[in-house]
A and B are shown apart, each in its own frame.
Chain A
Amino acid sequence: MTIGLLNHPEMHFGAITFFAKQHKEDMCGSNGLPLTPNSIIIYGRAQMLKAIKSPYLCQYLDIIRGKHERTIVVSQYCGTPLSNIVENQDQSIDEIKHIVYQILQGLNELHTRNIVHRNLSTENILCQDNNVKLFNYGLYHLTDNGKLVSFPIIQLLYAAPEIYLDGIQHNHTNPKVDIWAVGMILAELVLHKRFWSTLKLGHRIRKVLSLLQSNTSVFERIAREHNCYEDYMKVPEDIKEIIEICLNINVDQRPTCGELLQKGVFNQQKTDKISEKKSLCEPFEIFTIHEFYHWWQLAGGDIFQELKKQGLIRSSPPILSLPQLVLIEGGLLGQDRNPATLFDPRIVEMPLASLYQRFENIPFTAFYPLIQIKSDIISRLEPPPYDATGLPLIIKERDPEYQFHRVILLRRLLHGYPFTRELIVREAEKDIPPLLRGEIWAALLHVKGDYKSHYMKIDKYSITPTDRQIEVDIPRCHQYNELLSSTDGHQKLKRILKAWVCKNSNYVYWQGLDSLTAPFLYLNFNDEAKAFACLSAFIPKYLHKFFLKDNSAVIEEYLAKFSQLIAFHDPVLANHLYEINFYPQLFAIPWFLTLFSHVFPLYKILHLWDKVLLGNSSYSLHIGLSVLTQLRDRLLNAGFNECILLFSDLPEVDIEKSVYLSTDTFKTTPTSITAREHENCEFQERDKYDISGVTLEDLKRERYPRISANDIVSLVRSNPEKMCMVDIRNMTQYNRCSVIGSINIPFSSVSFSDNNIENIGQHSQLLKETNNKVVVVIGDEETDMELFPTFLLKCNVKKVCVLHGGFNILLSVTPTILVSHSHNI
């Protein structure tokens, strides 16, 4: 049953492959940077094809780059080529009409997007139960009108005469060439004959060109040449007319797709179509061919391997095809053209058996997961859910069954967005399936439905003073990635950045904004507006005020908080860094300004941000801490110079470990520890028991963080065993009134002359082994609030913090957490 759903006649795909043209000789562009390889340009141009969805077009699924400019295009491939049924005499006129109508629909879809097919032939039209889909229609577009490949993109017989006349170098093609091809195909269909099929290459071209000189109707002439004048006479007039106007020598007089579709001949098809269109909106598909292809790959499908099997990727030993002489100008002499690099237009269909086999045991119900409520009876009937918990993330992402369940579920949830946002967040906490990451991120960032029109309204083209800097930064931004280094990628990134600058006039473009945009663009390459919407939602939440023209106060505060967070969790490291004067200012600014997107490669950023998006703006402090934790041993043994060298080029960081460590510290750190003045209050509500009014000066001086009364209250109430409160007021005050469970170490009783924890007397043992308890220092105006916590920090006591506002703030909060000892005495 399951296989039945997967084994859909339209769920089939195939691949073609070709080589992009190699750049000759000069390898530098006008900006002094290396030229973008043609295969990368193609890679970028082809992306938009993946987004075209039409019942008359095979969907593009993937573009793969191999070595030495090899390009592979994967696309849906279902049905049999029209060429197989051309000679079938049983085809009725109505059936033929139906076929041509669908071809025109498909072409119309392309032409409205300014894509010229130019490769139309009966081989490229696939039929399946009377349904017609065009295949390989994007080749001319993705090769930039043939400029990026060395072979001509042409179908000998179906090419309009003007294509031949314009010559090989010409590459501005009118969409009308496709109309000519439709005319030829229709003519073949009604005459049940393949034209000039036995002729040789040159003669075929000659035949097409000879049509230029015909004085009578082109169609009639073709019919006479094939000895089927009688058949010609039998063709209904309205069809004849269509063929005639399509095969018009004069390009201008040839009709457009739209005009042809209006013709009376297709009235029947049009009414059929209207009756089909009953539903108000598109029905929800539980999965599409994109997901299907993704699972196929996870289940071990290998495009390269299949192409190799069919002989489309042949490898001859490189030592046999070396050039013999290379001149300083770059010219290669004595190198023969490797025949394996010629264009072979064959299509290789991909076998699906392994996927079917792998998914054999998936129950039917798995395709329709219940989301909101599930009764016990149903749960009992179902097999236990596929269990992948505990596996490393990277394994989970490559597990076909697991990804199957995740994708099915999350697609459904995304379909219900925004109403299902809570559920999406809950699922995202487990993990985010890579295939849907772009959409899930948008949901996590509250991207609204009208993001497209918002983006459309923004001026992305006027020249601004920041353009120059943007131009400089873009060709240096994550260029190892094929999408971001493609020409289309550069243009899109530029538009998004300009849109952001334009929209945020209170902010400026700081270098690093490009890196910050990169992950969003990478995930939403075919939806620029969404990438922009994500960026626009991301910055206020996580990098509020970071892009002010003078952002020093914001950054300084952030870095000071970072130092305090290190001290809170790792006093030993903090003390070491403090002693060698190695401050976060020296290394961490790009970390936080770009939220690590300038530091790590994309694949690591994705995993990191999966968690960032679930946290708040202080999460990145915890990531910073986790990076330091991973380098801890080396930092502790290094002096200032070594540290600078170490961070000038950050060593490999295990990102899964970082995610784990930072999530852990994020959860165990009271929120007020990382609270900042410059936080965006939209996301952080504050009252008088939260921290406020701390000057930057104070903040930079204090090496330990402050904690808010709110956090104290909630900790005392919920987890008193996880904290250790040290009241440093004098004993009288302490006895009169103090927090439940607090200990008293009067400030005046301690000698701070050396960093020895024993100095504090009877409670020293307690502070020596705090067992990860939060150590809160409570004082009041009369006590020095700095010396004591600094002393604890120097003695390497973990999790030291100071109550903001002193003891007295608690008096007004709630008397229930206070106790008086005076009775006991």
Chain B
Amino acid sequence: MEKEETDKPTHNKIKMNLEDIIKEWETVMHDEIAEYAEHRVASDEELFATAYHKMVHSPALETMLQLEHMYSRTVGQKTDEKKRLVQELSERQSHEMNDAVDRLDKDMTESKINELVAEHYEAHSFLQGKLTSELDTIKEAQRREYREWLMQMLEQNQTNSSIPTPNSPLTPHEIIIPNQVFDRGLSDTPILEESFTIHLGSQLKQMHNIRILSANVMDLCEVKDNKLFSEPTPQLLQTALALYSNDLSGLVLLADNKIGSRMIEDFQDICQKSTEFHFPHIEDQLTKISDIAQKFLKKEQKNLNRSHSELLQPGDFYITRHSNLSQVHVIFHMVSDDSLRGCDINSRHPVVLGLRNILKTACSNDITSLTIPLLLQYEMTEEMTISWCEKRAELVFKCVKGFMIEMASWGGSDLKNLQFMLPQGISNQVFHSLTEMLPRIFKVSNPKVLK
């Protein structure tokens, strides 16, 4: 009797354990082995990616870009109009307000003015809301139309083996022959840039291209639309061709610890200037990232030694994807803080470590062109003396070199092009001292002399 009692629980325990064991094995088989994993159908995103990649590498390319360009012009016009209307309203309102204040001693009372303020505010946000939602509707419609058109094109393409000249759903309504070619560049400050071919490794030498340039970082993102042209800018062609390839191009931007804060507002505006046909709109991407971050940080609060557990920390970064920027596909938003303004940061600084993670992410995700702020700043500030710049550049050069050597053993894709960006308006003298520094840190390839 006694014996039975003691036996039973152990028996149950074994049974219990067995069930756990079976479960455990089952899960790992599901997760890791294709045969047992759930059969997944290709997502919309993947289907569209395949279609787009195929079409963009066909004679349809020109029509596609043309179409995208016309769509973006519509959005652009609408955005301009929105700006104008809001501006007008603001002017009118401030005029009214001035009037009212002037009459304060006569027929106006303070409460009446308060009413007026409230009224103005309401009218303003109403107009803003209305125009924004109109814009969103246009974008949504464009996106749907474009994607449908593209899939249709692909189908046609597959049925007739010869590719017909595709018809765009929009017909170009205006063809203006420009009478002056390129007036761009006149207004811009001359771009300072210098390129190098360097190699790493003592016996087997791995080549990389490095470029130092001083420019406004937003130039890499913003699609400069020349009003006179109805043609899309040529950079877009390259960007579109590479979008679903294994040669992506990335850019490091600096952000603060709140996802989607004012610091990246300029950037957001640029993203919104035209329709995003491939990825979620920038706000949606940011919201999603924010959700992920909150969920994770709350859960892991105790496990990680983070000072502000619910906010991101310097060195963390989030990634957004874009198809409507002029030269980049992937943006790394690196969280930074004011300590970067100081002159005594070293290679253990969180932002530098974050840079290493960025290189690693680039390497394991086929991002083969990358732009990095050489001074870890995109704006000129007072602290940036010549010696400050030289010290900072030396640190970044050396660290990046170390990371690149490390990368070679990671077995990912090679970083083919690396761009170091300097703030716009940096003096010639600083620029040259930095370009002279580079060959001292990286080994510059000797030119091959053909005889």
Q: Which residues of A contact B (CB under 8 A)?
A: 22, 27, 34, 36-37, 39-40, 65, 67-69, 150-152, 154, 156, 164-165, 167-168, 201-202, 205-206, 209, 315-330, 332-334, 337, 339, 342-345, 478-481, 485, 598-602, 633, 646, 649, 651-652
Contact = CB atoms under 8 A, between A and B. Distances in A.
A345 B245 CA distance: 27
Return the 9 tightest CB-CB contacts between A and B, nearest first: A328-B315, A151-B32, A317-B244, A601-B204, A344-B34, A318-B366, A342-B34, A480-B204, A651-B446
A480 B408 contact: yes
Contact of A328 (B34, B357, B443): B357
B248 A205 contact: no
Interface in B15-32: 18, 21-26, 28-32
Given A37-B411, A324-B319, A633-B449, A652 B205 contact: yes
A205 B365 contact: no
Nearest to B30: A201
A318 B446 CA distance: 34
Contact of A152 (B29, B316, B448): B29
14 contacts: A67-B413, A152-B29, A201-B29, A318-B366, A325-B293, A326-B318, A328-B350, A328-B353, A328-B354, A334-B289, A339-B40, A342-B34, A343-B33, A480-B203
B375 to A, nearest CB: 20
A156 B36 CA distance: 11
Name the residue in A67, A150, A167, A481 with the highest tally of chain B Cβ atoms < 10 Å from its Cβ: A67
A345 B33 contact: yes
Interface in B300-323: 304, 313-319, 321
B425 interface: no
Contacts of A598: 203
Given A27-B360, A317-B245, A326-B361, A599 B34 contact: no
B366 A326 contact: no
Contacts of A646: 446
Contacts of B412: 67-68
Contacts of A36: 409
Contacts of A167: 21, 24
Contacts of A329: 304
B93 interface: no
B22 A328 contact: no
B273 interface: no
How many B residues are at the interface, by size bracket?
Answer: 35 or more
A421 to B, nearest CB: 32
Contacts of A318: 246, 248, 365-367
Interface string B346-377: 00001001100110110011110000000000
A668 B358 CA distance: 57
Contacts of A479: 409
Contacts of B34: 339, 342-344
A749 B202 CA distance: 54
A478 to B, nearest CB: 6
B411 to A, nearest CB: 5
Interface string B67-107: 00000000000000000000000000000000000000000
Nearest to B286: A324
Interface in B237-258: 243-246, 248
Contacts of B292: 324-325, 333-334
B446 A67 contact: no
A46 to B, nearest CB: 16
Name the residue in A150, A315, A317, A343 with the highest tally of chain B Cβ atoms < 10 Å from its Cβ: A317
Contact of B24 (A27, A68, A150, A168): A168
A779 B428 CA distance: 66
A476 to B, nearest CB: 9
B379 interface: no
Contacts of A40: 411
B392 interface: no
Contacts of B30: 201
Contacts of B360: 27, 330
Contacts of B342: none
B53 interface: yes
Nearest to B22: A205
B201 A326 contact: no
Given A201-B26, A325-B316, A344-B34, A165 B21 contact: yes
Interface string B399-427: 00000001011111100000000000000
Contacts of A150: 32
Given A40-B411, A324-B289, A337 B203 contact: no
Contact of B314 (A68, A317, A328, A600): A328
Contacts of A202: 22-23, 26
B128 to A, nearest CB: 29
B49 interface: yes
Contacts of A34: 406, 409-410
Given A315-B246, A480-B201, A323 B319 contact: yes
A150 B46 CA distance: 25
Contacts of A39: 411
A320 B46 contact: yes
A345 B22 contact: no
A250 B410 CA distance: 44
Nearest to B38: A339
Interface string B35-68: 1110010000110010001000000000000000
Given A34-B406, A649-B443, A651-B446, A206 B22 contact: yes
A316 B143 CA distance: 22
B296 interface: yes
Contacts of A315: 246
A601 B449 contact: no
